[in-house]
Amino acid sequence: VVIAYTSVYGHTKQTVEELAAALSKKGAQRVVVTDLARDDQAEALEDAFRHSVLVLATTTYNGGFFPTMHEFVSHLVDHNFQRRTVAFVQNGSWMPAAAKGMRALLEQCAGIDFAQNVVTVKGSLDDKSRAQIDALADELVAKI
């Protein structure tokens, strides 16, 4: 599983850390976490192609999603990303829209299996979003 994320205030990063721990605890053999704003995007792109499951986690930004993540998803589309499971984690205080925007771009790709569970964080983690993390981890481990 590869988790590629961007985080503005640290709450999305915390969510990703909890998801990575849940995946490992539930049996995922390898979980790679990449901060797209700080790590090498070329390496992140390679990781996305090396693994069967990709989680994209980012904040809602101007009604869409964070520019660094937008650039990464555009690279996936440009490089014919296909036949993978893709899951989403979105963060937004009043109207989270990141998952919808990322999915719209990736729908151009062939054979993408979108996870049914989406983690939605409204500002910071709470019991509801932690339950969503657990459900997503269960779903993704079953697909590995």
Contact 87, 140 (CB under 8 A): yes
Contact 94, 61 (CB under 8 A): no
User: In terms of Cα–Cα distance, which of 42, 35, 32 is closest to 5?
Assistant: 35
- Can you tell me which residue has the tokens 């979980």? 31
Q: What is the pLDDT along the chain (144 residues), one digit of tens a residue?
A: 999 999 999 999 999 999 999 999 999 999 999 999 999 999 999 999 999 999 999 999 988 899 999 999 999 999 999 999 999 999 998 889 999 999 999 999 999 999 999 999 998 999 999 999 999 999 999 999
Instruction: Determine whether 75 is exposed, middle or buried from the number of CB atoms within 10 Å of its CB (0-12, 13-18, 19+).
Output: middle
Residues 23, 2: Cα–Cα separation, whole Å: 11
Residues 84, 70: Cα–Cα separation, whole Å: 18
Number of helices followed by number of strands (H, E) in the chain: 5, 6
